[in-house]
Amino acid sequence: MWAAEVAWGQLPEAQEKARAAQERVIQDQRATIEKQRAAVRVQIQGTAPTDAFFAVPWTAPMMASAPARGPDCDPVPKEEIAPLVEEIARREGLTPNLLRAVIEKESAWLPCAVSPKGAQGLMQLMPNTAADLGVSDPFDAAQNLGAGARFLRQLLDRYGGNLAMALGAYNAGPRRVDSLGRLPLFPETVNYVSTILDRLSGPQTIKTH
H helix runs in 52-140, sequence order: 78-92, 96-107, 127-132
Query: 199, 205 in Cβ contact below 8 A?
Result: yes
Q: Give the separation between CA 129 and CA 39, rounded to whole angstroms.
A: 28
Among the listed residues 16, 104, 106, 188, the single catalytic one is 106
Determine phi and psi for 54, rounding to 5 degrees: -70, -10
Question: Is-catalytic flag, 80?
Answer: no
> In 159-186, where does DSSP find H-type helix?
163-172, 174-180
As a whole number of angstroms, the distance between CA 19 and CA 7 comes to 18
Instruction: List active site positions.
Output: 106
